[in-house]
Structure 1
């Protein structure tokens, strides 16, 4: 049993070596760079705590404001439809005359675009809370409070304008007639039924 060793081995002497010079210079540079910041943070911690608390409070207020705005927008979109008498008969007929004049010159794209712009103005006049400067035609066409006839007419006109602008396909007379009939059916029919 002499071949089993029970006594501990003597410790190996650890040879300490100095770190490389580049590492020492790097550590000195970092200490010189961050020591003033550390002293400032240590000395002004109370002020930093207050600043962080204020920023957190502002963040909570911003989140609450955003949620309130979204809630108000959803509530406005679900509001009952605007009255059908919003579109003035004279204004609707004047619009159709202007658009017809453009179409007579073969400027069907501009005529349909004019119908879309004026339709947006009609909606904005009736319910300004439904629209924002960034509202798109598709978003406007999906407003739940918009009467079904208005939604259908608006969607038809917007579809023709999208085809013209985004598909880069010039509108023809048939496209113009579809958009004009959609607007006229909505605006003039609702005016006739409102009397």
Structure 2
């Protein structure tokens, strides 16, 4: 019985030794395999920034509070500017103009001579073709343009020629000339009256009187 136990123990010890040798051999083979990596490589630290860049970062870091103040100040100015624009528009819409602008002086309103000559030349060209109605209509439109250019915001689209002639801002000395032109045009457009050469000459002379400073001297 004791012999069997001794043999069994020897067999067990030999098996353990063989197993240990097999593990060591497997471990050695695993370590020797170049395709496997067991060591962890520590990355190299990045190089330190240059001194000038470090100094710049330090400077910007010190100016951080100043930048915050500048940011909020700029934001406040933008908000105030927006509020001012809104308030100005509200005031402009809610409060009409308190002061009626006075008619400009004769040196400011007088049309350029070349402009007046060009108009009369165009009207004469229409009259030479016996298109007298178109010629006087052209003179009327230019007269209205003169009024609107010298007295802004006076002539509105809904106003008729008669309404424009009745405007209190229209100088009394210019009113008769404009009335003559408007009367001929309205009789042609709404009354079906034929415009003659005499009507055209009357309107032409009226425009000349209307365009020169003497017609506005009493404004």
TM-score range (shorter-chain normalised) is: 0.5 to 0.7
CA distance in 2, matches of 1:183, 1:114: 11
Provide the aligned C-alpha RMSD in A.
2.5
Aligned partners of 2:212, 2:129: CA distance in 1, in Å?
24
Stretches of 4+ aligned residues off by more than 6 angstroms: none
* Alignment map for 1:1-195 (pairs within 5 Å): 76=100, 79-85=101-107, 86=109, 87-188=111-212, 190=214
Normalising by structure 2, report the TM-score: 0.50
Query: Over residues 47-94 of structure 1, what are the superposed CA-to-partner deviations in whole Å (9 max), with x where a residue is unaligned?
Result: xxxxxxxxxxxxxxxxxx6xx76xx59x64xx5333323222111111
Structure 2 unmatched ranges of 5 or more: 1-93
Please tell me whether the aligned partners of residues 109 and 161 of structure 1 are also in contact (alpha carbons under 8 angstroms).
yes
Query: How much has 1:156 moved relative to structure 2?
Result: 0.7
CA distance in 2, matches of 1:189, 1:106: 31
Tell me the alpha carbon deviations over residues 120-155 of structure 1, each in whole angstroms, 9 at most, x when there is no partner.
Answer: 111111112212121211111111121223211111
Please say which structure displays the higher CA radius of gyration. Answer: 2
The 1:95–1:122 alpha-carbon spacing in structure 2 relative to 1, beyond 3 Å, is: same
Aligned to 1:32: none
Give distance in 2, aligned partners of 1:151 and 1:80: 17
Residue 20 of structure 2 corresponds to none
Q: Aligned-pair distance for 1:98?
A: 0.5
Distance 2:192 2:133 in 1: 10
Q: Gaps (5+ residues) in structure 1? A: 1-64
Distance in 1, matches of 2:114 and 2:174, equals 18
How many residues end up aligned between the 2 structures? 122
3-state SS of paired residue (2:153): helix
